[in-house]
């Protein structure tokens, strides 16, 4: 790994956690502690951080100055990691339903590594991405089905309950607004919550994609008990206690 890349990742972690430790960084980057101390010294001279015993922390007032420019990139990286893990979970020659949401849409670029999928979705943006991939692929690798309904601001199509009842899939992948062992699977969008509740009944396996900050939290609308989720895919930034509770319910946990 280049020194500049190490510096960038060190600063990204600082803006996420507020502090970093030499020993942890050495393990993460697989370099010795001397190299990490040199990196921190260079970043301190550049005014990027303040070194303390065993590590470093942000300078006073720096969080407000620097966070807006780094947070979007960090969020994109988390989404990409979750999406790539979800795509690896999809077997070739399977039928997969992709629900609405930014995390599920992020899965679509990785589907070109699969062959002969049948993809069902109620999301206009996901359908468009997959259709564009099919137009460029020779021969066309996947079959796409779009469930209709009334279009919503999140690009979802909602209201065709009868069409959803006729669908069968090997795997359903959806984005959850919250997942907690006690408060269950939830979402803030009523239409999305209703559709997700129906999706739980059309597949032999359900995969929930959950942003790390939504693990252990509850959205406004209850969908189902957390035990109805077979697999949870989230980032390693997710808090540990709620993950343990979900694991005890039998939910398989995959952290990226």
Helix (H, G, I), strand (E, B) or coil at 209: strand
Compute and round to an integer the Cα radius of gyration of the chain.
21
What's the predicted TM-score (pTM) here?
A: 0.71
Structure tokens at 187: 């979402």
Q: How far is CA 79 from CA 71, 73, 101, 112, in A?
A: 12, 10, 11, 18
8 A C-beta contact, residue 242 and residue 255: no
Rounded CA-CA distance 102/115 in Å is: 23
Phi, psi torsion values for 99, nearest 5 degrees? -80, 180
**Percent of the chain scoring above 90 in pLDDT:** 60
Which residues in the chain come in under a pLDDT of 70? 16-18, 59-73, 135-140
Half-sphere exposure of 23 (CA within 13 A, CB side): 2
Helix (H, G, I), strand (E, B) or coil at 170: coil
The pLDDT value recorded for residue 150 is 95
8 A C-beta contact, residue 36 and residue 49: no
The pLDDT value recorded for residue 141 is 77
The pLDDT value recorded for residue 12 is 80
What domains can be seen in the chain, in order of their start residue? 3-60 (1.10.10.10), 74-255 (3.40.50.1360)
8 A C-beta contact, residue 196 and residue 156: no
Structure tokens at 12: 């990204």
Preceding peptide of 139 cis, ω within 30°: yes
The pLDDT value recorded for residue 65 is 46
The pLDDT value recorded for residue 17 is 66
Q: Cα dihedral sign for 163, 165, 170, 172?
A: positive
């Amino acid at each position: 790994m280049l020194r500049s890349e190490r510096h960038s990742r060190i600063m990204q972690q600082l803006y996420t956690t507020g502090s970093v430790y030499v020993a942890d960084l050495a393990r993460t980057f697989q370099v010795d502690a001397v190299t990490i101390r040199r990196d921190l010294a260079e970043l301190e001279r550049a005014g990027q951080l303040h070194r303390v015993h065993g590590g470093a922390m942000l300078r006073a007032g720096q969080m407000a100055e620097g966070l807006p420019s780094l947070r979007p990139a960090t969020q994109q990286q988390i989404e990409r990691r979750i999406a790539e893990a979800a795509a690896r979970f999809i077997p070739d020659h399977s039928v997969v339903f992709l629900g609405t949401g930014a995390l599920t849409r992020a899965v679509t670029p990785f589907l070109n590594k699969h062959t002969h999928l049948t993809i069902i979705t109620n999301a206009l943006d996901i359908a468009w991405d997959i259709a564009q991939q099919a137009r460029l692929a020779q021969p066309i690798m996947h079959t796409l089905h779009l469930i209709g309904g009334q279009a919503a601001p999140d690009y979802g199509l909602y209201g065709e309950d009868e069409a959803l009842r006729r669908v069968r899939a090997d795997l359903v992948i959806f984005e959850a607004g919250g997942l907690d062992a006690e408060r269950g699977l939830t979402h803030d969008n009523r239409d999305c919550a209703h559709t997700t509740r129906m999706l739980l009944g059309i597949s032999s396996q359900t995969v929930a994609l959950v942003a790390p900050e939504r693990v252990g939290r509850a959205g406004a609308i209850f969908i189902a008990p957390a035990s109805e989720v077979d697999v949870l895919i989230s980032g390693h930034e997710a808090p540990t206690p709620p993950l343990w509770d979900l694991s005890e319910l039998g939910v398989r946990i995959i952290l990226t």
